[in-house]
Chains A and B, each alone.
Chain A
């Protein structure tokens, strides 16, 4: 069973009388432990796709099965629980709570699910340590550099041991050197902790870290290929022949 199984999902936005097709029928599956980059120009539907993957949005039609759970039938609070347990988010703009210490930002996902104060603290400390921010737990976001803020965000994504990290242009606001550090962090998390990393980027340098690159254009997947450079432990995907049929050029 794939970690993520997406079957013929579409997304149509209704803007007044005009309906805009943001995603044409997309099917693909993502296995546990993949490191995938989604590329495409703006307006290509990659963010819409990411929102659906992140259970923040629902497809207009089609099925999305995450670890065997049918997402389409879930209510608002059930989706919130899925986001909490299975997904970690990393955003371009970091999205940390202002005037809130790094530690409390990392504690945030545990706040809503009955984790005791002590356990919250311990786990948040451990997560901050694992992203190399030991000693900065009590700094506020405005006292941290961009790279450090993004590390706090990654620690927040890790703290609930979610199997998947969704990163939406995580290096978009960072300089090249810091971007490399962040990408190495993702690579390590993927290799050592077997966390599935899915990231959106429009930079080829960043996409090169991944093991699989999917390209979007006009709401459709135009290519889905293994990235040999980054693919140290790459295993063939889509082997069930289920995904991407028809409009996808699978070049291995």
Chain B
């Protein structure tokens, strides 16, 4: 029968006797646990930042761009060949089951005028589905309807940056702005999204019905042409299938022979971001693993001190054995002592790690996220380190010969 509360009391007393030594021994664990927590917080902060960008992009997003033209050896780059149409857009949504939603996009850059203010911004002609595909909310007003798309109504939704630059404090809803001298009525304001992954201001935008863009603003070489198609797949797992099926469908629709190159490009942005997110997670774990090396070093420090302690207290061990302490009584006494050291060190390390992460966030502007799971994990590991490195000294103590131990000076 082992008396755990008394054993903890004994170990606290033993640790109090050598305060300085106990504190220095704990320092290894404190640094180890603190470093693990801070590193994981930094790593998790980084991957969260990327996850946020994925969310702002719209999840499970594919983008289809027209192909490039080449004239006399000069290749014009992606999008120079007008190949995508409204028909393609409708066909993809109709025929590919893994596609959840789709939005065409035809636009360009134009000057917007309101009263005596003007501002150059990106104008996108699209359908109301665009908001769903890109997971964009409205801050106020309403989106345009399918009816307005069909009729080519001159209405628009404007981004926050445009609002700031044109309207100041005026409520833009119901106001009329001029796009390439064509008057458009503002019917809604888009919720701010912030910067994109590449640092572009996503809020510097005006959305208009695609028909209005095609007919009134940017014109098309042939009716129904679109510049970009945005596709939302049903799930992340569906992204690859969707990409492959879109390729097949468009090759077929564009009558591209087996040996010819595609006249369009499908870009899997979500996948690219996911890869980045994965690698930042791996980085976080790597940092954590490096930090945990110091935890192991701290554990070796504990083992060292416990060995010294066992030698110093040989006589005490002898007395305890003489009055009836069994093998595991002695063993547990020293294991619990090591455990106490490492757990106290662990708690202090957690406090320092959490505090350090907050300081990093505040001063270095690194996003850090403290996950309770990692805190528990670090605490658990510091305990395991104590037990693991305390075991050998405890084992040694328990094997002492009581006679020799009693005689030890």
Contacts and interface: CB of A to CB of B under 8 A. Distances in A.
Contacts of B3: 111-112, 114
B403 A108 contact: no
Contacts of B277: none
A67 interface: no
Interface stretch (A22-30, A89-97, A212-220): A89-97
A97 B318 CA distance: 10
Interface string B295-333: 000000000000000000001101111111111110000
A84 B324 contact: yes
A74 interface: no
Interface in A91-106: 91, 95-100
B323 A83 contact: yes
B323 A84 contact: yes
A245 interface: no
B365 interface: no
A77 B326 contact: yes
B13 interface: yes
B209 to A, nearest CB: 82
Contacts of A98: 316
A114 B323 contact: no
B1 interface: yes
Contacts of A114: 1, 3
A97 B316 contact: yes
A138 interface: no
A163 interface: no
A108 B320 CA distance: 8
Contacts, number: 67
Contacts of A89: 322-323
A95 B313 CA distance: 12
A112 B324 contact: yes
A156 B326 contact: no
B15 interface: no
Chain A interface size band reads 20 to 34
Contact of B1 (A51, A56, A112): A112
B326 A81 contact: yes
A95 B326 contact: no
Contact of A108 (B1, B13, B323, B406): B323
Closest 10 CB pairs of A and B: A84-B324, A114-B1, A109-B323, A77-B326, A80-B326, A56-B402, A112-B329, A95-B319, A80-B324, A56-B403
Interface of B: 1-3, 5-6, 13, 17, 315-316, 318-329, 402-403, 406
Given A56-B403, A99-B13, A81 B324 contact: yes
Contact of A56 (B5, B17, B315, B322): B322
Nearest to A105: B319
B405 to A, nearest CB: 10
A112 B402 contact: no
A95 B324 contact: no
B13 A109 contact: no
27 contacts: A51-B403, A56-B322, A56-B403, A76-B327, A77-B328, A80-B324, A80-B325, A81-B324, A83-B323, A83-B324, A84-B323, A84-B324, A89-B323, A95-B319, A97-B316, A99-B17, A108-B320, A108-B323, A111-B6, A112-B1, A112-B3, A112-B320, A112-B324, A112-B326, A113-B324, A117-B5, A160-B324
A91 B323 contact: no
B358 to A, nearest CB: 40
A117 B13 CA distance: 18
Contacts of B320: 108, 112
Contact of A83 (B322, B328, B329, B403): B322
Contact of B325 (A91, A96, A112, A117): A112
Contacts of A117: 5-6
A31 interface: no
A156 B5 CA distance: 21
Contacts of B324: 80-81, 83-85, 109, 112-113, 160
Contacts of B315: 95
Contact of A57 (B5, B326, B403): B403
Nearest to A85: B324
B326 A97 contact: no
A13 to B, nearest CB: 12
A80 to B, nearest CB: 5
Given A57-B403, A112-B329, A80 B321 contact: yes
Contacts of B406: 56, 91, 95
A82 B381 CA distance: 39
A83 B1 CA distance: 16
Nearest to B319: A95
A177 B326 CA distance: 37
Given A77-B326, A108-B320, 14 more contacts: A56-B402, A56-B403, A80-B324, A80-B325, A80-B327, A81-B324, A83-B321, A83-B323, A89-B322, A91-B406, A111-B3, A112-B2, A112-B323, A112-B326
Contacts of B316: 97-98
Contacts of B325: 80, 111-112
Contacts of B1: 112-114
Nearest to A76: B327
B6 to A, nearest CB: 5
B323 to A, nearest CB: 4
